[in-house]
Amino acid sequence: MRDLHTLPKAHLHVHLESTIRPHTLTDLAQRHHITIPSVPPEGYPGFRAFADRGTLVRSCLRHPEDFTRITSEYLADAAADGIRYAELTLSSGSHTERLGADVLPAVIAALEANQHDITARLILDHSRRRPTTRLATMIDTALRHPDTVVAIGVAGDEAHPIAPFATLLADARAAGLRMVHHAGEMTGPHSIAEALTLGAADRIGHATTTDTPTLHLLREHGAAVEVCASSNLALRSITHLDQHPLPRLIDAGIPLSINLDIPDVLGTTLTAEYTRLRDHYHWDDHTIAAIATTAIDSSFAPDDVKARVRADLTAWITETSATTGTTGCDTSHQTPRRWST
């Protein structure tokens, strides 16, 4: 079996705050006298328990240098894991309200100082539970940073609909922003339909409840799906990989990518996630390369970055011998967790 560290990968659904290294989280939590609960070995009983832990993790990030630090550390870790392009989701509006200052410049500073073989851009997300005024501010922020912020989206508790934000999202789309919404993670296909129609989504995060009409709608809108299988297991939106719609999405020709979403909860790497899915679904190298190619194709990367990653993927699939020996990727700070497969 080939070593998938060498696979050139795009990572399109990952929350920056959740990329925090365990020892960095411990350092910041101790500094601010915050206790972070352990991740339940059986996964979370519901979205609220997961979200509450996430709130505590974010509360450890209190200064601009904290955001510069976690961004720089993610870039180093991702590059070592074979990730060539990433789109990091950042809840900038939430942090700005919490800290009374815009943290985006601190993140951008880390991206600009990046010396690793990886290109990264940002997606700003807005909680469905928050007012439209915050979304309007976030859109203005995104439009001021067109070289760094490639998209916006709504996320969070899907009991709160997208409909109240539809006009603002349409205006943002008209201004040139792309749309990436979380949908179909904890609720039914109606959430995906709403994200596609009212939210004009280019991509859907999760989509674990894909039925036949939804597959047709995804094709009709040309939307890609960001698959986050281990995250879905951890949050119990699925209980077994055999229930995941991933094979059905592939069979239906829906473009998709493989992602971690919440790496601090999962304690794993994107290479490990590709490997886990390869082993479970019995994918060959050509299937893996096709998925990785679709990921970069459905990204918002600059054309030159897309061309470079595609060329590297072509070289990867044409290699005749498996990579052996050590990879040089330091994952000693990570402890993979395994929920039911």
Domain range annotation of the chain: 4-24+63-318
> Is residue 26 pLDDT above 90, yes or no?
yes
**HEC per residue, 90-113:** ECHHHHHHHHCCCCHHHHHHHHHC
CATH value of 4-24+63-318 in 3.20.20.140, 3.40.50.2300, 3.40.50.150, 3.20.20.210: 3.20.20.140
Query: Which one of 185, 194, 226, 273 is the catalytic residue?
Result: 185
> Is residue 330 pLDDT above 60, yes or no?
no
> Is residue 322 pLDDT above 70, yes or no?
no
Active site residue 65: no
pLDDT of residue 325: 44
The pLDDT confidence band at residue 331, using thresholds 50, 70 and 90, is very low
> Is residue 113 pLDDT above 70, yes or no?
yes
Mean pLDDT of 183-193: 93
At 195-235, the pLDDT tens digits run 999 999 999 999 998 899 999 999 999 999 999 999 999 99
pLDDT of residue 127: 94
The pLDDT confidence band at residue 153, using thresholds 50, 70 and 90, is very high
* Chain mean pLDDT for the chain: 92
Is-contact 193 214, C-beta < 8 A? yes
At 53-99, the pLDDT tens digits run 999 999 999 999 999 999 999 999 999 999 999 999 999 999 999 99
In this predicted structure, which of 39-53, 160-174, 195-209 has the lowest mean pLDDT?
Answer: 39-53
Mean pLDDT of 36-65: 89
pTM for the complete prediction? 0.93
**Tokens representing 105?**
């410049």
